[in-house]
Structure 1
């Protein structure tokens, strides 16, 4: 194994002489199999030699995270014969990271137990119920997180849900207002808690009627214009990605999908190679909120950008997702990574916009469709909204365009 990573005889001897050779080589083979480069695997192999030495691992045994951290500090300060050069301040962090990953792979790492709450069982059942309703994963996580937030606060005053009243919920929301939490966030807490207490009432956990008494704050609608960039700035964004590097090709395809079709970041992240039918020049999108699959024609520039990325920018690997990371191990590009790519482009060009992520391009797309004469119903359908209420804000700030509502031709827009 080590011969394939390093040709230096001293490195090979040191690797073979250290304890747990079989276990270390098993882990290194795993890293190579999932796509790590030989250079990175050699770095891990070097760390593993130091790990077994500093932790005195002559045989497999269970290890606590505190022991790993202590060994990392000792290794950073070690002045023995194994020391080569001056180690940076981050050395203990890297030592601990590689040790945890290796020992977790072997199944001998004792992770600290997460403190159990009074209402963990109820939260788990609530999450299962949300999944049965086939809500979006983001919605489920938000509901569960906000419910856990409330129940952690509640556990200091109540030990059972049967003792809860609507006044407890009011006190919790008041604490949020006192902490200057945004009204939209408080409203989101109310929505999540209404869903939870409605479920709790059905299960017989809480007194009836609590969910009816949870009233969110009044939030004025349409007080601010849409938070997206102007279409001129959108075109600047797209023109700025004329480079030929793999990252430029990926960024251009991402920006076009978000701006031309107004896709949500989760919908972009889920796109797969088989979603594109190049023969019929269409592609399919699994909608995040209303569910179902929506089909779009592939606009020429978007199609060319995606094909350029597939031919010259996308890594060759077995993963079927459209957008992948640029570095090994290749894996689907996460929603957070997509947001970072778009935000970086905004910042590089100095574009002034209240929001600078993929969702701001969705706002720009909606505004563009309205200025071209599309009706609110057509915009709502195009963007995957359940009703026209979600897009009414664009009409509030572009009344003249509403008078131009006419037959909608997607080809003219795209």
Structure 2
């Protein structure tokens, strides 16, 4: 049996017995056709099942390298390799063809997608007008204070929601907050005057100003739920015509991106964000080449 005939049988099995989605069957078929086409060129002839059984890990890696040379991103290469693994498992079950080489090939590493930054005007739009979602003046003040803090200090949503009233009161005599980040690590973040003013406006309307009360409250008087905060911004972005990537976490990303574009150094941004590794900050604060070039020209002695 030719490998291509086996591919056809595999796709039929996926469709009729596994009831796989049509898009999945099409994607697997495309990936496997590309693989078999590569093998035909690589081995000098159309492969059969015996040729597949004789494959080495180096042959599969050569295919992945060819995909990379064709500018296929890591996530797509990982999907292609997943299709190949499924095909080889089918061959083992249905045709007793064991292809051990694929177990020696690791999946292409993919980086998690990072949120896109908002423009400065879009971020200001959120912090200035997100209160328009609610009719209650107290909720309006709460939402403006909350989202101003995310963008103004680069906090994670959980870090902001973990604050208590005592933290807001301390801002009256301090210019910074102590927040608890990932791994229960604490860090000190500066708070801009505009953000302190927004927090003070909310504190004046806060229904429970005992020092150990949550700073940001939900409708039932308990600590604000992250899902509620996300819904508020989702509602506002639709009202204001903002892009779909306008999320609470995108405000933190925008904080870092706008600082870097304005000339701040990565080490300082790393400390502000609470990243354990500088490499995380380098990926997280990706900005366009034009902005980086402008910073380089402004700060380099020979610029």
TM-score between the two structures when normalised by the length of structure 1: 0.42
In the comparison of the two structures, how many residue pairs are matched?
A: 193
Alignment of 1:333-412 (within 5 A): 333-353=224-244, 355-393=245-283, 394-395=285-286, 397-398=288-289, 399-403=292-296
CA 1:367–1:285 in structure 2 vs 1: closer, same or farther (change >3 Å)?
A: same
Q: Distance in 1 between matches of 2:105 and 2:144?
A: 45
Out of 217, 224, 232, the position equivalent to 2:121 is: 232
**DSSP 3-state at the match of 1:403:** helix
Q: Distance in 2 between matches of 1:403 and 1:381?
A: 21
Please name the residue that 2:21 is paired with: none
Deviation at 1:242, TM superposition (A): 6.2
Deviation at 1:218, TM superposition (A): 2.5
In the alignment, is the contact (CA less than 8 A) between 1:375 and 1:405 conserved in 2? no
Out of 284, 290, 313, the position equivalent to 2:178 is: 284
Of Structure 1 and Structure 2, which has the larger fraction of its residues in helix? Answer: 2
CA 1:256–1:405 in structure 2 vs 1: closer, same or farther (change >3 Å)?
A: farther
Q: Distance in 2 between matches of 1:396 and 1:297?
A: 23
CA 1:358–1:235 in structure 2 vs 1: closer, same or farther (change >3 Å)?
A: same
Please name the residue that 2:217 is paired with: 324
Q: Distance in 2 between matches of 1:391 and 1:400?
A: 18
Question: Could you tell which deviates more after superposition, 258-267 or 391-400?
Answer: 391-400
Q: Distance in 2 between matches of 1:395 and 1:405?
A: 19
* Structure with bigger RCO (C-alpha 8 Å, 6+ apart): 2
Alignment of 1:7-406 (within 5 A): 183=75, 215-219=106-110, 227-241=116-130, 245-276=137-168, 277=170, 278-289=172-183, 291-312=184-205, 314-316=206-208, 320-326=213-219, 328=220, 330-353=221-244, 355-393=245-283, 394-395=285-286, 397-398=288-289, 399-403=292-296
Deviation at 1:255, TM superposition (A): 1.2
Q: Distance in 2 between matches of 1:220 and 1:285?
A: 27
After superposition, what is the alpha-carbon deviation per residue over 1:149-170, rounded to whole angstroms, capped at 9, x for unaligned? xxxxxxxxxxxxxxxxxxxxxx
Deviation at 1:311, TM superposition (A): 0.6
Deviation at 1:280, TM superposition (A): 2.5
Question: Could you tell which deviates more after superposition, 252-261 or 340-349?
Answer: 340-349
**DSSP 3-state at the match of 2:187:** strand
Q: Distance in 2 between matches of 1:396 and 1:230?
A: 11
In the alignment, is the contact (CA less than 8 A) between 1:266 and 1:335 conserved in 2? yes
Deviation at 1:220, TM superposition (A): 6.6
Q: Distance in 1 between matches of 2:232 and 2:149?
A: 13
Gaps of 5+ in 1: 1-181, 188-212, 408-414
